[in-house]
């Protein structure tokens, strides 16, 4: 009993610390949004701005730019904790490492996933998506962005010791994003033609539960590997 | 039976030593090379000359004897990387890391070969080199990207062993994802376009067509094993160049 309460305490303290750091640093949560809006501005310019065409391909535009936006804040995710030694302190502390990694994932989502969830429906409306598709879009974003955060956190942990730059992170992350993209855009296009999107949403929910329950453990193994090789 | 498993276990542990592997594998190269050559010769003759031409595709279908074995190998090699990588990560076995490393580029080449032969096959039969709408093409391309990812990750470390460990880890994550990717892409295909071309459905094959294919698959496996052994031996030469046994062995051979 006392163990579990202290885990919760540490978990919450970690979330509080990371949120504070993230909010203060500002570019961690601001950059993905700016990037997302930029990319979505380019599509109408490239496509000629016909409203019918835009409405049809809006789910694809929104989802592809959301995937790309998650790459923006990726490189700095563990970098500071890794370089100033606080990650080692978390590792050798009395509570299990996965408590920290779970808190890290939650924070990563709050800082770089949640802003995307909030802004995408707004952009979708500007593209002229039907109002009854919006709840589906919001639900798909809520289910899918945590999965994206899990995958990107893993990639970020594995590349801590690697030489930075180039397409390395995108090359690792984007193929793993494919299922999320398929199911999320599938749900949206089904909703757009009036078919029930439940199947695709259930699949997204399955991915969500699987990712959230497995990633803290896999992530702590990956971070331990990077720490031991540093 | 218990004895047999005991022996396998002992052999497995012995193979974990670079020295033992290097010495033992030198006896495997010749038999494996001859078996591989023999199987490829018989398989190619069987596939190109003996097998009847397809009633729909004519002689074009004969590329199947390269395409399908390459596709199977590209997936098996990925599995091997993940399994060997897991052994290397958990038990820190040196040989497993070398096997994982050696299999990466080989597997990637088979994945590339699958795509190239598939494109060559696609042009005369479907009238196009590439179809963005087909699930199988997509999942083969994604497999190639997964390979490129693990190779890129491996190459971006200054410490080679750390690079192999990180990329093995990524390969294991990828292995969990391969079925998910595959089925999601299938699902995506069935959603967006009903199968107008039945290109992924294999007709029930005649025996004369089937046996060269099976032979070629076995031949490709032998070829893969041979290449893997040669690459691993090269890596042993590089990694163990300072060890005493290797110097003595090379001195014996007069090199």
Task: Give DSSP secondary structure letters for B96-130.
Answer: HHHHHHHHHHHHHHHHHHHHHHHHHHHHHHHS-S-
Would you put residue A195 in left (φ > 0), alpha (ψ -120 to 50) or beta? beta
Lowest mean pLDDT among A131-135, A218-222, B185-189, B211-215: B185-189
* Residues of chain B falling short of pLDDT 50: 192-199
How confident is the model over A170-200, as pLDDT tens digits?
A: 899 999 999 899 899 889 888 888 888 888 9
pLDDT score, position B8: 86
**Which residues of chain A have a CB within 8 Å of the CB of B184?**
178-179, 182-183, 203
Checking if the pLDDT of A16 tops 70, the result is yes
CA distance B250 to chain A (A): 32
CA distance A79 to chain B (A): 16
d(Cα A160, Cα B117) in Å, to the nearest integer?
A: 37
For residue B111, give Cα distances in angstroms to B35, B76, B144. Answer: 24, 11, 6
pLDDT score, position B178: 83
Contact A165, A230 (CB under 8 A): no
**What is the mean predicted confidence (pLDDT) over A83-109?**
89
Q: Do B188 and A186 touch (CB under 8 A)?
A: yes
Q: pTM (2 decimals)?
A: 0.89
**Which residues of chain A have a CB within 8 Å of the CB of B89?**
225
Checking if the pLDDT of A2 tops 90, the result is no
How many beta-carbon pairs under 8 angstroms link A with B?
Answer: 82
Contact B157, B92 (CB under 8 A): no
Q: Which two tokens stand for residue B239?
A: 């990694």
Taking the Cβ of residue B154 and every Cβ of chain A, the question of whether any pair is shorter than 8 Å is answered with no
CA pseudo-torsion sign B242, B245, B250, B251: positive
3-state secondary structure of B58: strand
How confident is the model over B99-118, as pLDDT tens digits?
A: 999 999 999 999 999 999 98
pLDDT score, position B191: 52
Checking if the pLDDT of A148 tops 60, the result is yes
pLDDT score, position A1: 46
**Which residues of chain A have a CB within 8 Å of the CB of B148?**
171
* Residues pairing with B104 in the sheet: none
* CB neighbours of residue B11 within 10 Å: 12
CA pseudo-torsion sign A66, A67, A70, A71: negative
Q: Do B185 and A221 touch (CB under 8 A)?
A: no
Checking if the pLDDT of A57 tops 90, the result is no
Q: Do A162 and B148 touch (CB under 8 A)?
A: no
d(Cα B149, Cα B154) in Å, to the nearest integer?
A: 9
pLDDT score, position B190: 57
Checking if the pLDDT of A68 tops 50, the result is yes
High-pLDDT (> 90) share of chain A, % = 40
Expressed in angstroms, the distance from the first to the final Cα of chain B is 43
pLDDT score, position B131: 81
Taking the Cβ of residue B178 and every Cβ of chain A, the question of whether any pair is shorter than 8 Å is answered with no
């Amino acid at each position: 009993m006392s163990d579990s309460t202290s885990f919760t305490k540490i978990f919450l303290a970690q979330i509080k610390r990371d949120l504070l750091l993230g909010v203060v640093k500002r570019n961690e949560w601001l950059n993905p949004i700016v990037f997302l809006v930029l990319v979505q501005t380019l599509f109408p310019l490239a496509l000629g701005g016909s409203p019918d065409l835009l409405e049809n391909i809006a789910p694809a535009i929104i989802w592809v730019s959301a995937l790309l936006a998650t790459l923006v804040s990726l490189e700095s995710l563990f970098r500071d904790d890794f370089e100033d030694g606080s990650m080692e302190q978390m590792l050798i502390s009395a509570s299990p490492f996965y408590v920290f990694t779970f808190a890290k994932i939650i924070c990563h989502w709050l800082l770089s996933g949640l802003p995307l969830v909030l802004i995408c429906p707004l952009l979708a409306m500007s593209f002229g998506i039907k109002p009854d598709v919006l709840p589906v879009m919001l639900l798909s974003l809520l289910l899918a962005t945590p999965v994206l955060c899990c995958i990107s956190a893993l990639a970020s942990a594995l590349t801590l010791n690697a030489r930075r730059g180039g397409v390395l992170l995108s090359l690792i992350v984007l193929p793993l994003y494919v299922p999320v993209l398929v199911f999320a855009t599938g749900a949206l296009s089904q909703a757009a033609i009036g078919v029930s999107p439940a199947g695709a949403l259930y699949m997204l929910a399955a991915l969500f539960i699987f990712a959230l329950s497995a990633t803290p453990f896999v992530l702590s193994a990956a971070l331990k590997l990077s720490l031991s090789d540093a | 039976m218990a004895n047999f498993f005991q022996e396998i276990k002992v052999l497995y542990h012995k193979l974990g030593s670079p020295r033992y592997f290097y010495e033992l594998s030198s006896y495997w190269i010749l038999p494996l090379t001859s078996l591989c050559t023999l199987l490829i010769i018989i398989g190619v003759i069987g596939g190109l000359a003996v097998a009847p031409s397809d009633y729909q595709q004519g002689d074009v279908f004969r590329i199947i004897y390269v395409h399908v074995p390459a596709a199977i190998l590209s997936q098996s090699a990925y599995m091997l990387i993940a399994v060997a990588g897991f052994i290397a990560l958990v038990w820190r076995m040196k040989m497993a890391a070398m096997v994982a490393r050696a299999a990466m580029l080989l597997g990637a080449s088979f994945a590339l070969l699958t795509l190239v032969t598939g494109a060559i096959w696609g042009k005369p039969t479907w009238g196009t080199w590439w179809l963005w709408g087909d699930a199988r093409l997509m999942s083969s391309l994604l497999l190639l990207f997964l390979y490129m990812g693990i190779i890129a990750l491996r190459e971006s470390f200054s410490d080679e062993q750390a690079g192999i460990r990180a990329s093995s880890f990524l390969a294991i994550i990828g292995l969990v994802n391969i079925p998910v990717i595959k089925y999601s892409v299938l699902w995506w295909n069935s959603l967006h376009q009903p199968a107008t071309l039945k290109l992924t459905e294999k007709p029930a094959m005649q025996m004369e067509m089937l046996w060269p294919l099976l032979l070629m698959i076995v031949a490709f496996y032998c070829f893969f094993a041979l290449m893997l052994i040669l690459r691993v031996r090269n890596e042993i030469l590089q990694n163990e160049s300072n060890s005493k046994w290797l110097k003595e062995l090379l001195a014996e051979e007069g090199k």
